[in-house]
Chain A
Amino acid sequence: MSAGVLFDAPGPKARVRHRIYTVLSVLALAGVVALVVLRLADKGQLEYALWEPFVTPDYLQVILDALTQTLKMAFGAIVLAIVFGVLFGIGKLSDHAWVRWPSWAVVEFFRAVPVLLLMTGLWLAFSIGDGPLSPFWCVVIALTLYNGSVLAEVLRAGINAVPAGQVEAAYALGLRKSQVIWLVQLPQAVKIMLPALVSQCVVALKDTSLGYYITAPGLTAVMRPIYLEFQNQVPTAIVIASIYIVVNILLTLLATWLQHKLVGERKQLDVPMVGAGTTSTT
């Protein structure tokens, strides 16, 4: 039963069957790939002229600048989101109802509303015409509010995952409530939370692309001038998507590494999308 809960270790007949299925699926997958490549070649999408901008230093510079903008937005949003998350995460755990309920309402609101709606709302209210905010900051603030709310929930789950004995021992030693949170619960919770935090970076990075709708800079926004100049929509989309994928995979690898390093084999901290009452966390 090494194969898991779904099937037994295969016998000789099953092995033959599996081999046949393997060959068939290889053929089918190869067929699909061939079809795509043929289609692209047929429509002249593989011609060098369409791919040339991506080996031209000037255009690479433009794309690199756009990548920097995207990373800046994501990084800024995550840093601010951590602050937001710590404030409201601890707020949600407060013993005072007048702190707990507003924090709960803020976190639930921003988790339930689409990021793009937040972004567009901010843009319409503060940026369009000659408002005080640039589209860049609309993206950063919208991502901060959303990711901060998710992080608040992650923080709460992380603190709750710290064994109760730790807290009891700290109180028994005579520590005050704030000391218990800052000296005992948070340092241990951070270790449990870190992989989830890095995964949230992937979400933030992906969501920066939504700035496209509100004319913010970034990797997605830079595509338009390029494909309008060269009429190379397909190559541009492939190249830009690959950049996103590579950066995100690097971040995911970091999250997995942190998980093994800090938490061991335990499952990554996972929070449900909405409603603290609907599902039991960890």
Chain B
Amino acid sequence: MEAVLSDYDLYLKGFALTVGLVLVSGVASLVFGALLAAARVGPIWVLSKAASLYVTIFRNTPLLMVFIFVAIAMPRIGITFKFVEEIAVGDWSISAFFFRACVALTLYTSAFVCEAFRSGINAVPLGQAEAARALGLTFTQNMTNVVMPQALRAVVPPLTSVIIALTKNTSVAAAFGIAEATSAMRTLGNRYGDQVVEIFFFIAIGYIVVVELLALGSYALERRWKVASR
């Protein structure tokens, strides 16, 4: 108990970093994943195959391997992302470690985001688009009024799963020099060897809070967008 209370600072900083990683790499992988999905379902054969190759590679590589590529292998060929440390907003700047972790998480998560979007689009029955065209709607009207609203609703649950997985995956950054929540547990555990169980539960509760907040947010979106269907 006292371990967490006396080092409350470490605990809070750890979760602040975890949330920071989730926000930055979450937004980045939503954008990149959406681009991938566009290439994946688009009419250009080559782009579709390239996106599918990307998804296959990154879905089958452990996240830790992606981290090793970004943090250990890429510096060998001169890509260290050191330049981000030059950028400073006021007295606040990003460390290269944080940036690398975000790059690795984004590369990995985008593959899953792409698949989530694709499954959302596939969930729209073909007859919907056909009916819309038969009624004389133009392509744009068809997209904005018929296909996308349905795809967007279908995409919320799988996308939430992906973002929740991302939240848990940020823990891997602990192995690469980021003092986020899991690494905070290791530090605290080393410091107070006799209180490991309490420390573990405290950190676990922190993760559960973040994950449940995401789940509740998604549930609220679902409720809000729900249409009287069937």
- A interface residue numbers (CB < 8 A to B): 1, 3-8, 10, 14, 18, 21-22, 25-26, 29, 39-40, 42-43, 45, 109, 112-117, 120-121, 124-125, 202, 206-210, 212-213, 220, 223, 227, 233-234, 236-238, 240-241, 244-245, 248-249, 252, 270, 272-275, 277-279
Residue of A nearest to B58 (CB): A245
Chain A residues with Cβ under 8 A from B63's Cβ? 206, 209
Interface members, chain B 24-61 (any A CB < 8 Å): 41-47, 50, 56-57, 59-61
Chain B residues with Cβ under 8 A from A233's Cβ? 72-73, 76
What's the nearest-Cβ distance from chain A to residue B139, in Å? 7
Q: Which of B44, B64, B76, B214 contacts A220 (CB 8 A)?
A: B64
A-B contact pairs, 13 of them (CB 8 A): A4-B41, A8-B133, A22-B46, A43-B76, A114-B170, A116-B171, A120-B189, A213-B172, A244-B60, A244-B61, A245-B57, A274-B215, A278-B215
Q: Is the CB of B189 within 8 A of A113?
A: no
Answer whether A116 and B212 are a contact pair too, CB < 8 Å, given A25-B47, A234-B77, A279-B222: no
B96 at the interface (CB under 8 A from A): no
Residue of A nearest to B18 (CB): A114
A189 to B69, CA, bound (A): 40
Q: Is the CB of A114 within 8 A of B208?
A: no
A244 to B68, CA, bound (A): 14
Q: Is the CB of A125 within 8 A of B124?
A: no
Contact-size category for B:
35 or more
> Which of A116, A212, A240 has the largest count of B CB atoms less than 10 A from its CB?
A116
- B interface residue numbers (CB < 8 A to A): 41-47, 50, 56-57, 59-65, 68-69, 72-73, 76-78, 121, 124-126, 128-130, 133, 139, 143, 147, 157-158, 160-161, 164-165, 168-172, 174-175, 181-182, 185-186, 189-190, 193, 196-197, 200, 203-204, 207-208, 211-212, 214-216, 218-219, 222
Interface of B is mostly: helix
The 9 closest A-B pairs by CB, nearest first: A248-B60, A209-B62, A121-B200, A124-B189, A114-B171, A5-B129, A114-B168, A273-B161, A206-B62
Answer whether A249 and B56 are a contact pair too, CB < 8 Å, given A125-B196, A233-B76: yes
Residue of A nearest to B127 (CB): A5
Instruction: Please count the residue pairs between chain A and chain B whose beta carbons lie under 8 angstroms apart in the complex.
Output: 193
A41 to B226, CA, bound (A): 54
Q: Which of B77, B182, B216 contacts A117 (CB 8 A)?
A: B182
What's the nearest-Cβ distance from chain A to residue B138, in Å? 11
Interface of A is mostly: helix
Q: Is the CB of B61 within 8 A of A245?
A: yes
Q: Which of A117, A220, A245 contacts B207 (CB 8 A)?
A: A117
Q: Is the CB of B129 within 8 A of A10?
A: no
